[in-house]
Structure 1
Amino acid sequence: MDKMKNPFRFLSLLVLCFSCRIIPSLATDSISANQTLSGDQTLISSGGVFELGFFNPGNSLNYYIGIWYKKISTKTVVWVANRDSPVSDKNSAKLVVSNGNLVLLNESQIPVWSTNLTSSTSDSAVAILLDSGNLLLRKLESSENLWESFDNPTHIFLPGGKIKLNNKTKQPQYLTSWKNTEDPAQGLFSLELDPKGTTAYYILWNKSEQYWTGGPWNGQTFSLVPEMRLNFLYNFTFVSNENESYFTYSMYNTSIISHMVMGVSGQIQQLSWLESAQQWNLFWSQPRRQCEVYAFCGGFGSCNENSLPFCSCLTGFEPKSPTDWDLQDHSGGCVRKTKLQCKNPSSSNSEKDWFLAMPNVTLPKHAQSVGVGNAGECESTCLKNCCCAAYAYDSNGCSVWNGDLLGVQQLSQDDSNGETFYLKLAAPKFPDAKHKKQEIIGIVVGLVGGVGVFLAICLFVMMRMKKRGVGLRRTVASSSMAFRHCGEIIGIVMGIIGGLGALLAILLFVIFRRRSLVGKGKSVQGSLVAFGYRDLQNATKNFSEKLGGGSFSSVFRGTLPDSSVIAVKKLERISQGEKQFRSEVSTIGTIKHVNLVRLRGFCTEGNKKFLVYDYMPNGSLDAHLFQEENSKNLEWKVRYQIALATARGLNYLHEKCRDYIIHCDIKPENILLDFDFCPKIADFGLTKLVGMEINRILTTMRGTRGYLAPEWISGVAITPKVDVYGYGMMLFELVSGRRNSEPSKDGQVKFFPTWAATVVIQGGDVLELLDPTLERKADIEEVTRIIKIASWCVQDEESNRPSMCQIVPILEGFLDMSLPPIPRSLLLFVDS
């Protein structure tokens, strides 16, 4: 009866109950084993200071578990759980307590983040959010904390938290910036306590390049942060004992809301909330000047303190990702608008790369010194090296920069600390001498034609003037005929001139067309040239000079009519149709990197399929490592640069292509060397093109001691880590100068990777491992670094192998790595 009397009230109750079933509110500060948190559910600390739940930053479509201030109008996230592993659906994702861990399950119920506690406590744990912003995982039956977010900070340092150093392991704890304002993934800037124990805090770029320090702790403040001496809001404390050292702070007035943040700007900032203005107030930041942040503008970017925005690209470059730049993420830097000509033998003098002077700047970091006698030789050295991006010549001699230019800062005109460096740019598209000559011919012909018409008209008028004495009537009577004759004469003259002009235009078109097609085939697909089979026959002298070959191809040397040298790869047993073949080749043709061999074109006629590459005059790496006839013994510095440049090329294939590419066949035979011994990876992208299967891969390797990762044989899914494995095996050969599967040149039969890893782990004589032809002439630290990387690369489990993007900074000397374990598969080859 009550229901019938109050139908609207009854319906309201139904709606309310239904809503409660869809989004049940936890209305608590904790979550235990029998509860889950998903959708719009949140935990709220007991005093209502902080809130935990799913959030998506800015315009992002990704969701994260985070903690933010509950009572602040501007949503400010202070901690993120799954910062590098977002979920796409917050309603089906769940935060749960499972087996004594706090775990985040994505929409497929797969764990993407966990507290990762190894000691199991069954389900007798509860997660509690405190008013301090600290998230605790605690045993139910005691007050013992199993885990806390204050021990695992992300980008914000709250009062009561700590950024610590483990004094036993010397492992620092990092406060790391967001990638950009809409992506909480780990950025490039981080704060740490000096692992060497100097009580100083550092800010690092990429956890490798230190660009700021707070100075040592003097008992009250950090010596290089004077703001701390004037502080009346915060109580700073530094604690050090046998287990850990850390810096912490508290608020004198606990009603004030404040925190430190490692910002996307690369500066550590102290912020306080102003309720009256409803905004955050900056109390202090370090470093004070934005351009003091190392590589803030990325590769080939320039920082200018006197302009907004601070970052711009160097002349000839543009932002690699304008979207990221709009989000204050400049880490991607800038890319060339026009690619370098770079030792193209067919280039005319007007097509050579050139240098632009960049005055009044701070020079890029990590220059390499070159022993030359003058500025001209310095310029020439850089011009001849494709890897060289810029040079400078001053009282200290010649400096060159290879790869990205980092840390360039444009100074003001009155700054006396500015220097000048010279940036390599692509050749300007000026017409060459032949083009100018042809243009002049066309202009002259046009002028002659115009003058001819003018003279013909003048002659006609003069003849008519002479006949004026015949009389007016006769003149009038014949005027119509005269005009008709005049028109006929002008028409004839213009017709002749027009015909000559058309003929000249046709001749010029043919000349230009022949110049554009000479040695290039008959048609163009994208940036690739489609050669005819006869073109390649002529270029290779009917495929008479074979450079090498494998199980699915043969390579021949060729010369085009414009004298440029090419390498023609004849593909065998290709079952793809022409349309599919062209599609795959076009994809390969879009891939450009200084350490990848450039694909110039292709040929497909029936079953005949060819790829045309730039010719590498120094052949493949294996010929020099294993001392084939007429090869050059490589010095250690060259070998090390080959290792680094090859890693950069593989990193590009794995990380920076639109569709990442797994090479599947990394070995010295596929590392080619140009005129300056700059390495270029060959045969990338061929796996899909030739339908390479496991049995065919196996035939190209050298048995179990070759370059095959274990997963090839086990049959699991192939990932880029198979390239990492092959790269590691190749590194061992760079050190030893022999095949891993062959005995050493002094007669020893030790399996080299096992021997090398053992020597490094046990702290033995690493120079004993060197190729004997090097006569122990190598940098011990570099040799050790190479072997450590190689040993990590050939780990049995692919998850234990580093990625190429991790290997590059290690080889560059920015990062270090721990001693590796000897893989089980290598232990099988230990001599009995």
Structure 2
Amino acid sequence: MESSMCLSSAILSLCLSCMWLGVLPYISSAPTDTIKPGEELQFSEKLLVSAKGTFTLGFFSLESGSYLGIWFTIDAQKEKVWVANRDKPVSGTDANLTLDADGRLMIMHSGGDPIVLNYNQAARNSTATLLDSGNFVLEEFNSDGSVKEKLWESFDDPTDTLLPGMKLGINLKTRQNWSLASWINEQVPAPGTFTLEWNGTQLVMKRRGGTYWSSGTLKNRSFEFIPWLSFDTCNNIYCFNSVANENEIYFSYSVPDGVVSEWALNSRGGLSDTNRPLFVTDDVCDGFEEYPGCAVQNPPTCRTRKDGFMKQSVHISESPSSIKEDSSLGPSDCQAICWNNCSCTACNTIYTNGTGCRFWGTKITQAYAGDANQEALYVLSSSRVTGKSLSVF
């Protein structure tokens, strides 16, 4: 009894000391990797962390809205490898992830109907777990606690990133398609200009549905048009797996334990992995560029090899010649449209989140210091001959 009173007194003394110093003691609770029926994952109060701490799932906000996503826990930038509601942003921070009593995994928010992640795949006795592979899995359990069925998984709904163990391809039974789609831009995770698919023999990058680049055939465990991936065993960074049977056709890859890897497709058609040489550089197949794997381009006769886009601060003397208010268009789309229109001299986006397009058809002049009518535009220029890096279409 006396020892209990001493312990209580010590705790009280510590708390009073902390309050006197203006510091409140922080008592942490171990993070969980699982959400159970009736539980909620609040916007800013709680995160799911995989068992070994590899991945984190939680909410985040961008200029375009708020989202539920997954990222590498050690990534200081929190680059998202998956976004649950990429084309259904919610407003503000009044949102949570809920697994209800019927097994529906959904984002609840004040702005409208719940965003259900597992349509037609719900079961009462189920839990959702974030795995160390980065896969977020909803499983149904038997009464004895054993797994009965996998109901839903985030790996079946990729965004712009391929993780080890994920598939690119198609399930021939269910017609489930596994492909990547770039963000529109850094602030808008909705599906953008580029997709990456597997056609059974090679990786194919498409731009708004048209073939843009391909990896060349996967042969002897290397791709024809990704030269630095030139090995024929699994003893290096990657081990490739290509499957084709009556049920599915897909490509996947694996890496040794402890290796961090994510193949990310960006909004300019670049394909890269964490801290490793680029597979495909941004804008590599645009305009007159000739690069292994690029689809044959037919640039307009009004463009030359010297032409390209440079972002410049320019003097604006008149309104845009045309506008496309489509919020699914990003900077890459605007430049492509301008490049193929011989009367276009400059372009930019409309909205603050970097979507929509504006085009100018007049001569653009460089802004001078103190110019009140200046704006940063992507201007068609022949400065490419000087060796400056430009985006070209």
Same fold (TM over 0.5): yes
Residue type at the aligned position of 1:266 = G
Q: Please give the secondary structure, in 1, of the residue aligned with 2:216.
A: strand
2:15 corresponds, among 9, 23, 26, to: 9
1:536-547 to structure 2, matched below 5 A, reads: none
The verdict on how the C-alpha distance between 1:318 and 1:52 changes in structure 2, with shifts beyond 3 A counting, is: same
Which residue in the other structure is 1:49 paired with? Answer: 54
- Once the 2 structures are TM-superposed, how far is the Cα of residue 219 of structure 1 from its aligned partner? 4.8
Question: What do the CA deviations read for 1:104-123 (whole angstroms, capped 9, x no partner)?
Answer: 1112462124221x1441x3
- Once the 2 structures are TM-superposed, how far is the Cα of residue 283 of structure 1 from its aligned partner? 3.7
Which residue in the other structure is 2:349 paired with? Answer: 321
CA contact (8 A) 1:25 1:42 kept: no
CA contact (8 A) 1:272 1:283 kept: no
Could you tell me how far apart the structure 1 residues matched to 2:25 and 2:201 are? 58
The root-mean-square deviation of aligned C-alpha atoms, in Å, is 4.1
Q: Report the structure, 1 or 2, having the larger helix content.
A: 1
Residue type at the aligned position of 2:250 = Y
Q: Structure 2 length as normaliser, TM-score?
A: 0.68
Q: Please state if 1:34 is matched with 2:29.
A: no
- Once the 2 structures are TM-superposed, how far is the Cα of residue 210 of structure 1 from its aligned partner? 1.4
Could you tell me how far apart the structure 2 residues matched to 1:82 and 1:287 are? 26
Could you tell me how far apart the structure 2 residues matched to 1:4 and 1:72 are? 39
Q: Please state if 1:284 is matched with 2:279.
A: yes
- Once the 2 structures are TM-superposed, how far is the Cα of residue 271 of structure 1 from its aligned partner? 1.6
CA contact (8 A) 1:289 1:305 kept: no
The verdict on how the C-alpha distance between 1:169 and 1:96 changes in structure 2, with shifts beyond 3 A counting, is: closer
Question: What do the CA deviations read for 1:505-532 (whole angstroms, capped 9, x no partner)?
Answer: xxxxxxxxxxxxxxxxxxxxxxxxxxxx
Could you tell me how far apart the structure 2 residues matched to 1:75 and 1:187 are? 20
Q: Please state if 1:250 is matched with 2:274.
A: no
Q: Please state if 1:237 is matched with 2:265.
A: no
- Once the 2 structures are TM-superposed, how far is the Cα of residue 155 of structure 1 from its aligned partner? 0.5
The verdict on how the C-alpha distance between 1:53 and 1:108 changes in structure 2, with shifts beyond 3 A counting, is: same
Question: What do the CA deviations read for 1:692-716 (whole angstroms, capped 9, x no partner)?
Answer: xxxxxxxxxxxxxxxxxxxxxxxxx
The verdict on how the C-alpha distance between 1:285 and 1:413 changes in structure 2, with shifts beyond 3 A counting, is: closer
Could you tell me how far apart the structure 1 residues matched to 2:61 and 2:40 are? 19
CA contact (8 A) 2:222 2:231 kept: no
Which residue in the other structure is 1:505 paired with? Answer: none
1:739-754 to structure 2, matched below 5 A, reads: none
CA contact (8 A) 2:15 2:24 kept: no
1:111 corresponds, among 114, 117, 130, to: 114
Could you tell me how far apart the structure 2 residues matched to 1:83 and 1:89 are? 15
| Matched-pair identity in % | 29
Aligned length: 317
Residue type at the aligned position of 1:270 = S
CA contact (8 A) 2:269 2:283 kept: no
- Once the 2 structures are TM-superposed, how far is the Cα of residue 61 of structure 1 from its aligned partner? 5.9
Which residue in the other structure is 2:105 paired with? Answer: 102
The verdict on how the C-alpha distance between 1:4 and 1:18 changes in structure 2, with shifts beyond 3 A counting, is: closer
CA contact (8 A) 1:265 1:290 kept: no
2:167 corresponds, among 151, 162, 169, to: 162
Q: Please state if 1:128 is matched with 2:129.
A: yes
The verdict on how the C-alpha distance between 1:224 and 1:63 changes in structure 2, with shifts beyond 3 A counting, is: same
The verdict on how the C-alpha distance between 1:316 and 1:221 changes in structure 2, with shifts beyond 3 A counting, is: closer
1:442-521 to structure 2, matched below 5 A, reads: none
Residue type at the aligned position of 1:282 = P
Could you tell me how far apart the structure 1 residues matched to 2:125 and 2:226 are? 45
The structure with higher relative contact order (CA 8 Å, sep 6+) is 2
- Once the 2 structures are TM-superposed, how far is the Cα of residue 19 of structure 1 from its aligned partner? 8.8
Which residue in the other structure is 2:183 paired with? Answer: 178
- Once the 2 structures are TM-superposed, how far is the Cα of residue 256 of structure 1 from its aligned partner? 2.4
Residue type at the aligned position of 2:15 = R
Could you tell me how far apart the structure 1 residues matched to 2:66 and 2:110 are? 11
CA contact (8 A) 2:239 2:253 kept: yes
Question: What do the CA deviations read for 1:22-77 (whole angstroms, capped 9, x no partner)?
Answer: xx9672011011210012210001111110000124xx262110001111222211
Q: Please give the secondary structure, in 2, of the residue aligned with 1:139.
A: strand
Could you tell me how far apart the structure 2 residues matched to 1:11 and 1:304 are? 70
The verdict on how the C-alpha distance between 1:9 and 1:175 changes in structure 2, with shifts beyond 3 A counting, is: same
Could you tell me how far apart the structure 1 residues matched to 2:11 and 2:115 are? 52
Q: Report the structure, 1 or 2, having the larger strand content.
A: 2
- Once the 2 structures are TM-superposed, how far is the Cα of residue 150 of structure 1 from its aligned partner? 1.3
Q: Please state if 1:335 is matched with 2:359.
A: yes
Could you tell me how far apart the structure 1 residues matched to 2:166 and 2:39 are? 28
Q: Please give the secondary structure, in 1, of the residue aligned with 2:274.
A: strand
The verdict on how the C-alpha distance between 1:132 and 1:169 changes in structure 2, with shifts beyond 3 A counting, is: closer
Question: What do the CA deviations read for 1:421-468 (whole angstroms, capped 9, x no partner)?
Answer: xxxxxxxxxxxxxxxxxxxxxxxxxxxxxxxxxxxxxxxxxxxxxxxx
Residue type at the aligned position of 1:271 = D
Q: Please give the secondary structure, in 2, of the residue aligned with 1:210.
A: strand
Could you tell me how far apart the structure 2 residues matched to 1:16 and 1:412 are? 58
The verdict on how the C-alpha distance between 1:61 and 1:189 changes in structure 2, with shifts beyond 3 A counting, is: closer
Q: Please give the secondary structure, in 2, of the residue aligned with 1:9.
A: helix
Q: Please give the secondary structure, in 1, of the residue aligned with 2:230.
A: helix
The verdict on how the C-alpha distance between 1:226 and 1:251 changes in structure 2, with shifts beyond 3 A counting, is: same
Could you tell me how far apart the structure 1 residues matched to 2:305 and 2:137 are? 42
The verdict on how the C-alpha distance between 1:190 and 1:235 changes in structure 2, with shifts beyond 3 A counting, is: same
Question: What do the CA deviations read for 1:572-597 (whole angstroms, capped 9, x no partner)?
Answer: xxxxxxxxxxxxxxxxxxxxxxxxxx
- Once the 2 structures are TM-superposed, how far is the Cα of residue 218 of structure 1 from its aligned partner? 2.9
1:422-433 to structure 2, matched below 5 A, reads: none
- Once the 2 structures are TM-superposed, how far is the Cα of residue 166 of structure 1 from its aligned partner? 2.3
Could you tell me how far apart the structure 1 residues matched to 2:71 and 2:244 are? 30
Q: Please state if 1:213 is matched with 2:201.
A: no
Q: Please state if 1:204 is matched with 2:206.
A: yes
Could you tell me how far apart the structure 2 residues matched to 1:16 and 1:63 are? 32
- Once the 2 structures are TM-superposed, how far is the Cα of residue 6 of structure 1 from its aligned partner? 4.7
Q: Please give the secondary structure, in 2, of the residue aligned with 1:150.
A: helix
Q: Please state if 1:80 is matched with 2:80.
A: no
1:707-746 to structure 2, matched below 5 A, reads: none
The verdict on how the C-alpha distance between 1:410 and 1:114 changes in structure 2, with shifts beyond 3 A counting, is: farther
- Once the 2 structures are TM-superposed, how far is the Cα of residue 288 of structure 1 from its aligned partner? 7.5
CA contact (8 A) 1:177 1:186 kept: yes
- Once the 2 structures are TM-superposed, how far is the Cα of residue 305 of structure 1 from its aligned partner? 7.7
Could you tell me how far apart the structure 2 residues matched to 1:85 and 1:288 are? 28
Could you tell me how far apart the structure 2 residues matched to 1:68 and 1:163 are? 20
- Once the 2 structures are TM-superposed, how far is the Cα of residue 282 of structure 1 from its aligned partner? 3.5
Instruction: Give 5+ residue unaligned stretches, structure 1.
Output: 274-280, 339-355, 357-407, 415-832
- Once the 2 structures are TM-superposed, how far is the Cα of residue 17 of structure 1 from its aligned partner? 9.9
Could you tell me how far apart the structure 1 residues matched to 2:385 and 2:278 are? 31
Could you tell me how far apart the structure 1 residues matched to 2:383 and 2:346 are? 20
Question: What do the CA deviations read for 1:730-771 (whole angstroms, capped 9, x no partner)?
Answer: xxxxxxxxxxxxxxxxxxxxxxxxxxxxxxxxxxxxxxxxxx
Q: Please give the secondary structure, in 2, of the residue aligned with 1:238.
A: strand
- Once the 2 structures are TM-superposed, how far is the Cα of residue 87 of structure 1 from its aligned partner? 1.4
Q: Please give the secondary structure, in 2, of the residue aligned with 1:246.
A: strand
CA contact (8 A) 1:258 1:270 kept: no
The verdict on how the C-alpha distance between 1:172 and 1:201 changes in structure 2, with shifts beyond 3 A counting, is: farther
Which residue in the other structure is 1:137 paired with? Answer: 138
CA contact (8 A) 1:26 1:42 kept: no
1:763-802 to structure 2, matched below 5 A, reads: none
Mark the structure with the bigger radius of gyration. 1
Could you tell me how far apart the structure 2 residues matched to 1:6 and 1:167 are? 65
Q: Please give the secondary structure, in 2, of the residue aligned with 1:258.
A: coil
Q: Please give the secondary structure, in 2, of the residue aligned with 1:72.
A: coil
- Once the 2 structures are TM-superposed, how far is the Cα of residue 227 of structure 1 from its aligned partner? 2.9
Residue type at the aligned position of 1:335 = F
Could you tell me how far apart the structure 2 residues matched to 1:69 and 1:107 are? 28
Which residue in the other structure is 1:189 paired with? Answer: 194
Instruction: Give 5+ residue unaligned stretches, structure 2.
Output: 312-331, 364-379, 387-393
1:514-553 to structure 2, matched below 5 A, reads: none
Could you tell me how far apart the structure 2 residues matched to 1:260 and 1:96 are? 29
The verdict on how the C-alpha distance between 1:126 and 1:226 changes in structure 2, with shifts beyond 3 A counting, is: same
Residue type at the aligned position of 1:9 = C
